[in-house]
Structure formats: C-alpha cells, structure tokens
Amino acid sequence: MGVVTEPGDGREEERYRIDDLARLAATTVRNVRAYQDRGLLPPPDKIGRVGWYSESHLARLRLIGEMLSRGYTLANIAELIDVWVRGQDLRDVLGLEAALIAPWGEDRSFLYTEEELRELLAPLAPEHLEAAVQLGLITPEGEHFRVEDRRLIEGASVLLRAGVPVEAVFELGATIATATDNIARLYVEMVSKHIVGESLEPLSPQRVRNLSEVVRRLRPLAKEVVEAGLATALDRRIGAEVGSHLARAATSEEPEAAQSVT
C-alpha cells in the first residue's frame, strides 16, 4: 500500500496495489481482474508500470462482494452499473447501490445443527428436513443449517408443540414466503415505475441521491405498513373465527336447554 497525493489539490488519498486491494476486500487478485474485464470495476491509475487502486475501487469491490453474497449475479451487477454509472458521480452511485442492498432490519439469521433443529421442531423426520431445504425454509451450510430469521423456527416450534402437523407448518411457511415476496415485488415495482421511470437515460446526480433517500425511508415504512396490516387482519380473522365457534356452541346447546324445560 502507499499514499498518493492527488495532483493540484494537495489532498492525500490512500492507494493500493492489486494484491493489497484484493486482501482488504476479502477477494482474490484473479477476481479483481475478472471484475475489471467485465466492466464492474474501473481500471487502476497507472504510475509508471504500477497500477494503483483508490478507496473508490475498494468500496466498489466490497460492494460487489456484498451483492454477490445476497444473490445478485455478475450480470445483474453489470446491468445496474451500466444504467447508473454513466455520467454519475461514483460516490452517489455507491450510495444508491448500498441503499439497495442494505438489510431491511437487524440480522436475525442463525446457524443450527441438525440435532438442534430436530429438538426445536420435534417430531422432525429426515424427509421433513429435506423438504424444508427444498422449500428454501432452511439452507445447508457445511454441517449446519442456516435460517434467515430465527423467529421463523421459534414460531414453527410453537405450532408443532401445539399439535400442528409438520407438513402443515412447512406448507404455511412456504405460503407466507410467497405472499411476502409478492408484497416486496409490489413495493419495488412501485418505486421502479413512479420514481426511477422506464427511461434508460442516465439518472442525474440529484435524482440518484433522491432515490437513495427514498429507498432508505421506504425500508422501515414498508415494514411498519405490513406489520400493521397483518395485525389488523389477524384481529379481524380471529374475531370472526371465535364468533363462529361461539355461535356453533350456542346452537348446539339450544336443544338440550329446550328439552330440560319440557
């Protein structure tokens, strides 16, 4: 690593050789070069025969790694960069990309051993575990299984201990996953249609900053709206179900009451 002074402004900026850059970004030199070849990472500044990378390169490289870990493909990342980077200040683009992939809440993912899962989700047969993996409810990681939100396992455990069959619990989990994915799609499509727009022209720096702010504000708002809607729906459904049970119970008791009078 080395410190290079930017010409003309007297400002010093940290610069890195490619091996140092790769190490700091927790990747490989081969990956750095591959990202450059794909246009995901700008080429380094050449000073003599040495290529020097900046803090912007490091930030972009870390962001690529984060996006890949969250399921983005290199093609997805290339499309985003192609649309947004043209004519944009790199810091604005990085801010938008970071806002898009930032977690929507605190990380509640958790690793369980198979034994722990079987204890929490008893009775859990081998075929049940395989079905949970196929449904995407849990993800194998080495000798462990990752659950994206441990509250899902805790909720499933309560239902199972109350007597709900394993198959019914898994079916509910898959249905909820589909429903919440549809809700997320509606939010994203709304932002894409009404804020981003359909034009492929480069977004102005101000629009990039505005979009970043909208995404940041949308995250907690969307969560609160969904929670409020679910709470209202649960109250309504539970009230209707309890009322139905009470009505049936009252109806079944009427003949007995009438017979006792006669």
Residue 123 covered by a domain: yes
Regarding whether 159 and 45 lie in a shared domain, the answer is: no
How far, in Å, CA of 151 to CA of 87, rounded? 44
CA angle, 231 then 232 then 234, to 5°: 65
Regarding whether 36 and 157 lie in a shared domain, the answer is: no
Give Cα separations from 249 to 149, 209, 260 (angstroms): 39, 60, 17
CA angle, 15 then 29 then 37, to 5°: 95
CB-CB contact of 26 with 65 (8 Å): yes
How far, in Å, CA of 153 to CA of 149, rounded? 8
Number of domains composing the chain: 2
How far, in Å, CA of 93 to CA of 155, rounded? 39
Q: What is the pLDDT of residue 98?
A: 61
Regarding whether 131 and 247 lie in a shared domain, the answer is: yes
Regarding whether 135 and 76 lie in a shared domain, the answer is: no
Q: What is the CATH number of the domain that holds 28?
A: 1.10.1660.10
Give Cα separations from 101 to 22, 68, 116, 127 (angstroms): 21, 10, 31, 34
Instruction: Out of 42, 73, 101, pick the residue that ends a domain.
Output: 101
Q: Which residues pair with 47 in a beta bridge?
A: 50
Tally: H helices and E strands in the chain: 10, 7
Residue 145 covered by a domain: yes
pLDDT values of the chain reduced to their tens digit, one per residue, 262 residues: 444 434 434 445 688 999 999 999 999 999 999 999 988 898 999 888 889 999 889 988 888 887 787 677 888 778 766 655 665 555 566 566 566 655 555 657 788 898 888 888 887 788 888 888 887 788 898 888 988 888 888 888 899 889 999 889 888 988 988 898 888 888 777 877 776 665 545 556 676 677 777 777 777 787 788 888 888 988 888 888 877 877 777 776 555 544 444 4
Regarding whether 200 and 128 lie in a shared domain, the answer is: yes
pTM for the full predicted model: 0.51
- Domain assignment of residue 65, given as a range: 2-101
Regarding whether 237 and 204 lie in a shared domain, the answer is: yes
Joined tokens for residue 89: 């200040």
- Residues 238, 242, 247, 249, CA torsion sign: positive
